Structure 1
Amino acid sequence: MDRTEFAARIDHTVLGPETTWNDVETVLDAAAEHGMNACIPPCYVAEATEYAPDVTVVTVCAFPHGQEAPKAKESEAERAWNDGADEVDVVLNVGRLHEGDDDAIAGELEQVVAAVPIPVKVIVEAPLLSVGKLRTACELAEDAGAAFVKTATGFSEGGATVEDVEIMAEYLPVKASGGIGNFEAAVEMLEAGAERIGASSGVEIVEGYDAAAF
């Protein structure tokens, strides 16, 4: 994998509750310079696509808890697409999953995927799940037509682990996200089967490529 291919697997991320447009500009500038994607809050997507038209813009839906009504998730995904987002990362309702209400989860994921003609990644919050529930979440995402499953929001307990990525990769391409702070950690996730990395340390990760033999 050359540096360009490596950088294109990084979603350079800014999603904190105090994120400003200046923060988003900084992430977009870094993404453009290094060939990364940018993952930003939905309220800034329209501005971002005008400011950096050559950057792949990823945004989130029902973030970070996933407990919005299904129709609200569908509408939020549609709004993101209409604003110019290239990809949407939607949070699965973990409470419903724990209750065993798989039909409700299947329905809402199918609605979101059907609502937009762009890739949908399903955030399953793997650190909160047993292996059995993690497999169920991945099965539901796969059946709904999702493009990826994503490990975590980074706003609950824990983040990406090799073990979770290995399991998730049995179902769909994986975006490993949560606690990936450097090049070595990113490579570990890619070697475990991840296709994409979500991290606020995108610049450090990509620059680490130059100092290491991949």
Structure 2
Amino acid sequence: MDRQTLAERIDHTVLGPETTPADVRRVLDEAAEYGMNACIPPCYVAEAAEYAPDVTLATVVGFPHGQHAPGVKAAEAETVWDEGADEVDVVLNVGRLRAGEDDAVREELAAVVAAVPIPVKVIVEATLLDESELRRACEAAVDADADFVKTSTGFADGGARVADVEVMSEYLPVKASGGVGNYERAKAMFDAGAERIGASSGVAIVESFEK
């Protein structure tokens, strides 16, 4: 992997509750400079798409807890696509999964996938799940025809873990997100099977890259 290829596999992220338009513009500028993608809050998608049309733009749906009504998630996905998003990261409803309501989980995800013609990543919040639950979450994502599974929102305790990525990569391409702050950590995720990294430390990851 060279530095350019690494950058193309990073979603440079700003999703905190205090995120301002200036924060989003900074992340977009950095993404453009380093050749990364960007992942930003949905409320800023329209202006971000206009500000940085050449940056691949991801945003989040049902964030951060996945407890929005299913129709709201689908409508939110459609809205951000209309406004210029290139990819959508939707949060799975962990409570319904824990309750054994796998059909409801799958149907909700499928509705989001059906609402947009762009890649959909399913955030499973892996640190909250045991292995059997994680596998069921990934199976729901597969059945819903999602494009990726993603480890974490960054708002639950813990973040991306090698063991979780190894399991998830058996099902779909993986976006490892949460606590990936340098190239060494990113490489561990890639070695475990991740295809993409989500991190607020995208610049640090690229700058710490060593061939």
TM range (shorter): over 0.9
The amino acid across from 1:79 in the alignment is: T
Partner of 1:91: 91
Partner of 1:38: 38
Partner of 2:48: 48
SS for the counterpart of 1:5 is helix
Distance 1:65 1:126 in 2: 13
Deviations 1:146-170 (CA, angstroms, capped at 9, x unpaired): 0000000000111000000000000
The amino acid across from 2:34 in the alignment is: H
SS for the counterpart of 1:175 is strand
SS for the counterpart of 1:33 is helix
Partner of 2:116: 116
Deviations 1:150-206 (CA, angstroms, capped at 9, x unpaired): 000000111000000000000000000011111110111011100000000000001
Distance 1:123 1:157 in 2: 14
Structure 1 position 2, deviation (Å): 1.8
Q: How does 1:126-141 map to 2 (within 5 A)?
A: 126-141=126-141
- TM-score between the two structures when normalised by the length of structure 1: 0.98
Partner of 2:156: 156
The amino acid across from 2:50 in the alignment is: E
Deviations 1:75-106 (CA, angstroms, capped at 9, x unpaired): 00000100000000000000000000001001
Distance 1:9 1:88 in 2: 16
Partner of 1:107: 107
Structure 1 position 208, deviation (Å): 1.2
Distance 1:29 1:108 in 2: 34
Partner of 1:172: 172
SS for the counterpart of 1:198 is strand
Distance 2:24 2:46 in 1: 12
Structure 1 position 46, deviation (Å): 0.5
Deviations 1:26-71 (CA, angstroms, capped at 9, x unpaired): 0000000000000000000000010000000000000000000000
Give the count of matched residue pairs. 211
Could you list the runs of 4 or more consecutive aligned residues of structure 1 that deviate by over 6 angstroms after TM superposition?
none
The amino acid across from 1:114 in the alignment is: A
CA RMSD of the aligned region, Å?
0.5
- TM-score between the two structures when normalised by the length of structure 2: 0.99
Deviations 1:126-151 (CA, angstroms, capped at 9, x unpaired): 00000000000000001100000000
Distance 1:89 1:30 in 2: 21
Distance 1:157 1:100 in 2: 23
Distance 1:84 1:54 in 2: 11
What residue ranges of structure 2 are gaps of 5+ in the alignment?
Answer: none
SS for the counterpart of 2:65 is coil
The amino acid across from 2:105 in the alignment is: I
Distance 2:2 2:199 in 1: 20
